C-alpha cells in the first residue's frame, strides 16, 4: 500500500499540472506606456504567450488626412509620437517636399536657415524623447529617482521649445518649405543670441549629467540583472520584424538613416552611430533589453555633439520659409523615411495633383517594433514583459495613429 | 540596382506575372505584379543573393477612388546589404480582394497585413492570424475605402459628429 502511494506521489511531482491562466495586462497599466493591452497566457509565473491588442488610441489619422490639405495635416502628425513631435512634423514635411521637388517646373528649396533650425530643434527633441524613455524605463524596473532627474532636464528643453513655437508638446513648428515664424526671431538679433545662449547653457549643464545617469541607472546592479541577457533580439529577427532605430542598433546592426541615407543637412555634421556590442565582463549580450537602452543613452551624447556643431557655426542669415504659393504636389506617389528617435518614420503619400492627398500612410517605427513583442516574450517571466516594453520604447499614439 | 534593372530581372524570371513598370508619374517608380504571383516574386526578391531584399519598409493599401473599382497593395522593400529599394504594386478588384500573404517572408508584414485587412478589407491567403488590429472586432465595413459610409450608431453611441 505504501509503495503505491509513493509511486503516485512521484508521478504527481514529475507531471505537475497547472491551469493556464489568462491575465489582461492593461490597457490601464502604468508600465504599458499608454493604452496597450497584453493578453498574457500564463503558466504560473512563466509567460506562454503575450498577445498585444492595440487600437485603443486609434484616431483615424489616415482617414482624416484624406480630407485635409497638406499643411493642415502637420498638427495631426504631432499627435502621432507626442513625445518627439518635432521629428514627426519633419518626417511628414520632408515627404511632401520631396514629392513637390519631383515637379521640375517649380523651383523650390528649403532655406538654409530653416534647415539649421530643423536639425537643431529635432536633435534637442531627440534628447527630450530619450530622456523620457530613460526615466520611465527606470521607473518600470523599479527605480523611481531617474524619472525625477530625467523630467527635470526634459522640462528645460520643453521651455526652449515653448520659446521658439509657443507649445510644449504638440508644436506644429516645422512647416512645408521651412519652419514656423509664429515667434519671430530675426537673424543676428538679441532674441536669437539669447535663444542660442540658452541652448548652450543647457548643453553645458546636461552633458555631464549623462554620465551621472549612467552611474545612477545604467551600471546599477539591480537594473542590470533585470535587463541584461533578457529578451535577446537577433539582428535577423530585428530586420524581419522591421525594428528600426535604437532597437535595430541595439541588435548590433550599424544603420542610421541620418548617416546612411543623409537627408536635410546631416551630411555636414560629424557624429557617431552608437551600436550595441557584447560586454562579457558586465554580462550584456547584443540584442538584449540593456543594449537597446544603452544605445539611447549613447545617442543623447551624439545629439549634443550635433547641436554643439550648429552652435559653433551659428545660424545662417536669410528667410526661414521658402517662397511657396500653394502646396500642391504633382500627381504621383512617394515614400520617404527619416530617423525619428524611435526609428524609421516613413510617410507614403499618393497625390493626384490636388491640395489634398489621396492616400497618406504613416509607417510607424513603434508599430513594427511592437509586433516583435509576442515572439520576444515567449517563455519569459511576467516581470520581464515590463522590461521588454520599456526597452523597445513605444508610444501608443504612434502605434495606433 | 535601380528599379529598371530589377524590373528586367523580374520580367525575365516571371514573364507575364510582371505587368509593367510605372515611371511616368512623379516620385517613386513602381513595378506592377499580378496579385496571384506577389508572394513568389517577394520570395525571389528576398532570397536571391544579388537582390537580397531583407526588409519590408512599408506595406500599404490604396484605394484610388470609386471610379476605379480597384484596390492596390503597395510594397516598399529595401535591401540593407545592397542598399537598394524597390516598390511593388499588386491590384485586385474591390469585390474580390484576395491575394497571397508575404508574412512568411518578412515577419513585419504580419501586422501590416492585418492593418490592410482592417482598414481596406484585403484578404491575405496564408496569413495565420487575420483579424482586425486597430478597430474593434465587431466593427463593420472597411473605413479607408473611398465608398465607405460610417454607421449611424456603434453600440448605442452616435458615430457621425
**In this predicted model, what pLDDT tens digit does every residue of A67-99 receive, in sequence order?**
899 999 999 999 888 889 999 999 999 999 888
Which stretch, A22-26, A206-210, A215-219, has highest mean pLDDT?
A206-210
Strands across the sheet with A343-351, in order?
Answer: A357-363, A343-351, A332-340, B26-27
CA distance A129 to A175: 21
- The pLDDT of residue A12 is above 70: no
Percent of chain A with pLDDT strictly greater than 70: 95
Tell me the chain B residues in contact with residue A348 when contact means C-beta distances shorter than 8 Å: 58, 60, 74, 76
- For testing the chain B interface, which of A238, A247, A335, A349 should be mutated: the one with the most B CBs within 10 Å? A335
CATH code, B3-158: 3.30.460.80
**Is the per-residue pLDDT at A11 higher than 70?**
no
Asked if A187 contacts A317 with a C-beta cutoff of 8 angstroms, the reply is: yes
ipTM, interface predicted TM-score of the complex: 0.90
Write the pLDDT tens digit of every residue in B124-157. Answer: 988 888 889 999 888 888 888 888 888 888 888 8
Rounded average pLDDT over A258-275: 89
Subunit contact A63:B30, Cβ cutoff 8 A: no
Size of interface A-B (CB pairs under 8 A): 100
Regarding beta strands B55-63 and B26-27, do their DSSP bridges make them parallel or antiparallel, or are they unpaired? unpaired
8 Å CB contact between B55 and B119: no
At residue A49, does pLDDT exceed 50? yes
Angle between helices A112-141 and A145-165 in degrees, nearest 10: 160
Rounded average pLDDT over A189-208: 90
Q: Where are the domains of chain B?
A: 3-158
Per residue in B51-69, pLDDT (tens digit) is 888 889 889 988 887 556 7
- Give dist(CA A110, CA A262) in Å, integer: 16
Range A165-186 average pLDDT: 86
Q: Do the bridges between strand B123-125 and strand B98-100 make them parallel or antiparallel, or are there none, so unpaired?
A: parallel
CB contact under 8 A, A242 and B56: yes
Cell numbers linked to A242? 522591421
| Helix (H), strand (E) at residue A296 | helix A289-313
Contact A330 B60 (CB under 8 A): no
Chain B: give the shortest CA distance to residue A196, in Å.
Answer: 37
Distance from CA of A242 to the nearest CA of B (A): 5
Q: Which residue has the higher pLDDT, B71 or A106?
A: B71
State how far residue B95 is from chain A, nearest Cα, in angstroms. 20
The tens digit of pLDDT for each residue in A342-386 reads 999 999 999 888 889 989 999 999 999 999 999 988 888 888 898
A54-230+303-400: CATH homologous superfamily? Cytochrome-c3 Hydrogenase, chain B (1.10.645.10)
pTM of the model: 0.89
**Residue A4 clears pLDDT 70, i.e. is over it:** no
Residue A1, pLDDT above cutoff 50: no
Average pLDDT over residues A28-50: 84
Distance in Å, alpha carbon of B113 to nearest chain A alpha carbon: 12
Instruction: Report the half-sphere exposure of B14 (CA within 13 A, side-chain side).
Output: 25
What's the confidence (pLDDT) of residue A92?
93
pLDDT in the model for residue A43: 85
Q: Where does the pLDDT of residue A9 fall: very low under 50, low under 70, confident under 90, or very high at 90 and above?
A: low
Give the best residue of A255, A350, A399 to mutate against chain B (max B CB count within 10 A): A350
Bond prior to A136 in cis (omega within 30° of 0): no
> What does each C-alpha distance from A256 to A8, A121, B26 come to in angstroms?
60, 19, 27
Tell if the CB–CB gap between B107 and A240 is shorter than 8 Å: yes
Taking CA–CA distances from A105, the nearest residue in chain B reads: B26
Give the residue among A125, A304, A118 at the shortest CA–CA distance from A204.
Answer: A304
| Chain B neighbors of A102, CB-CB under 8 A | 26-27
Write out the DSSP string of A194-250.
HHHHHHHHHHHHHHHHHHHHIIIIIT-HHHHHHHTTSS---HHHHHHTT--THHHHH
Answer whether A399's CB lies under 8 Å from A370's CB: yes
Give A303's pLDDT tier (boundaries 50, 70, 90).
very high
Whole-number pLDDT of residue A155? 92
Between the alpha carbon of residue B158 and those of residues A56, A62, B150, the distances in Å are 18, 21, 10
Q: Which residue of B has its CA nearest to A337?
A: B57
Kindly compute the dihedral angle of the four CA atoms of residues A209, A210, A212, A216, in this order, to the nearest 10 degrees.
Answer: 130
pLDDT of A125 above 90: yes
User: Residue A202: pLDDT above 90?
Assistant: yes
Please say whether the beta carbons of B103 and A242 come within 8 A.
Answer: no
pLDDT band at A277; cut points 50, 70, 90: confident
Q: Are B122 and B145 in contact (CB under 8 A)?
A: no
Residue A258 vs residues A87, A300, A356: alpha-carbon distances, Å: 12, 14, 29
CB atoms inside a 10 Å sphere around CB A102: 18
Determine how β-strand B26-27 pairs with β-strand A332-340: parallel
Enumerate the residues of chain B whose CB falls inside 8 A of the CB of residue A372. Answer: 107
What mean pLDDT is predicted for residues A230-258?
90
Q: Residue B69 CB: number of other CB atoms within 10 A?
A: 11
Which residues, numbered 321 to 350 in chain A, qualify as contacts with chain B under a Cβ-Cβ cut-off of 8 Å?
329-335, 337, 344, 346, 348, 350
CB-nearest to A333 from B25, B57, B134 is B25
A63 CB within 8 Å of a chain B CB: yes
Q: What is the pLDDT at residue B54?
A: 87
Amino acid at each position: 500500500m505504501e509503495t503505491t502511494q509513493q509511486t503516485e506521489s512521484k508521478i504527481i511531482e514529475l507531471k505537475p499540472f497547472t491551469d493556464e491562466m489568462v491575465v489582461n495586462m492593461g490597457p490601464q497599466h502604468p508600465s504599458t506606456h499608454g493604452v496597450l493591452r497584453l493578453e498574457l497566457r500564463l503558466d504560473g509565473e512563466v509567460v506562454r504567450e503575450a498577445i498585444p491588442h492595440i487600437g485603443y488610441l486609434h484616431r483615424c489619422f489616415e482617414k482624416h488626412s484624406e480630407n485635409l490639405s497638406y499643411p493642415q495635416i502637420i498638427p495631426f502628425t504631432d499627435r502621432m509620437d507626442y513625445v518627439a513631435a518635432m521629428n514627426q512634423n519633419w518626417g511628414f514635411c520632408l515627404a511632401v517636399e520631396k514629392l513637390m521637388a519631383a515637379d521640375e517646373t517649380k523651383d523650390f528649396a528649403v532655406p538654409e536657415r530653416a534647415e539649421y533650425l530643423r536639425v537643431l530643434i529635432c536633435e534637442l527633441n531627440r534628447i527630450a524623447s530619450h530622456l523620457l524613455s530613460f526615466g520611465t524605463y527606470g521607473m518600470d524596473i523599479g527605480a523611481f529617482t531617474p524619472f525625477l532627474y530625467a523630467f527635470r532636464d526634459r522640462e528645460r528643453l520643453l521651455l526652449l521649445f515653448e520659446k521658439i513655437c509657443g507649445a510644449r508638446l504638440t508644436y506644429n513648428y516645422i512647416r512645408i518649405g521651412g519652419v514656423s515664424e509664429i515667434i519671430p526671431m530675426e537673424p543676428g538679433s538679441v532674441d536669437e543670441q539669447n535663444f542660442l545662449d540658452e541652448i548652450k547653457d543647457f548643453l553645458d549643464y546636461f552633458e555631464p549629467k549623462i554620465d551621472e545617469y549612467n552611474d545612477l541607472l545604467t551600471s546599477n546592479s539591480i537594473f542590470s540583472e533585470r535587463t541584461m541577457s533578457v529578451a535577446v533580439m537577433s539582428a535577423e529577427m530585428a530586420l524581419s520584424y522591421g525594428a528600426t532605430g535604437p532597437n535595430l542598433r541595439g541588435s548590433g546592426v550599424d544603420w542610421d538613416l541620418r548617416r546612411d541615407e543623409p537627408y536635410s543637412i546631416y551630411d555636414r555634421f560629424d557624429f557617431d552611430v552608437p551600436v550595441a556590442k557584447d560586454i562579457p565582463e558586465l554580462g550584456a549580450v547584443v540584442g538584449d533589453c540593456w543594449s537597446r537602452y544603452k544605445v539611447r543613452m549613447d545617442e543623447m551624447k551624439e545629439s549634443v555633439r550635433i547641436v554643439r556643431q550648429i552652435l559653433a557655426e551659428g545660424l545662417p542669415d536669410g528667410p526661414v520659409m521658402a517662397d511657396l504659393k500653394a502646396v500642391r504636389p504633382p500627381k504621383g506617389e512617394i515614400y520617404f523615411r527619416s530617423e525619428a528617435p524611435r526609428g524609421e518614420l516613413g510617410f507614403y503619400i499618393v497625390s493626384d495633383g490636388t491640395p489634398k492627398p489621396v492616400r497618406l500612410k504613416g509607417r510607424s517605427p513603434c508599430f513594427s517594433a511592437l509586433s516583435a513583442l509576442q515572439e520576444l516574450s515567449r517563455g519569459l517571466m511576467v516581470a520581464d514583459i515590463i522590461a521588454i516594453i520599456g526597452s523597445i520604447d513605444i508610444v501608443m499614439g504612434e502605434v495606433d495613429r | 540596382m535601380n528599379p529598371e534593372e530589377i524590373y528586367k530581372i523580374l520580367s525575365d524570371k516571371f514573364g507575364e506575372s510582371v505587368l509593367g513598370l510605372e515611371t511616368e508619374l512623379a516620385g517613386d517608380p513602381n513595378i506592377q505584379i499580378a496579385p496571384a504571383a506577389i508572394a513568389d516574386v517577394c520570395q525571389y526578391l528576398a532570397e536571391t543573393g544579388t537582390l537580397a531584399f531583407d526588409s519590408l519598409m512599408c506595406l500599404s493599401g490604396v484605394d484610388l477612388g470609386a471610379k476605379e473599382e480597384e484596390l492596390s497593395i503597395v510594397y516598399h522593400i529595401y535591401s540593407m546589404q545592397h542598399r537598394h529599394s524597390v516598390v511593388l504594386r499588386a491590384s485586385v478588384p474591390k469585390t474580390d480582394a484576395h491575394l497571397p500573404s508575404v508574412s512568411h517572408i518578412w515577419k513585419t508584414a504580419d501586422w501590416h497585413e492585418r492593418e490592410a485587412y482592417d482598414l481596406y478589407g484585403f484578404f491575405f491567403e496564408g496569413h495565420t492570424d487575420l483579424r482586425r488590429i486597430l478597430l474593434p472586432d465587431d466593427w463593420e465595413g472597411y473605413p479607408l475605402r473611398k465608398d465607405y459610409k460610417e454607421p449611424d450608431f456603434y453600440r448605442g453611441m452616435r458615430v457621425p459628429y
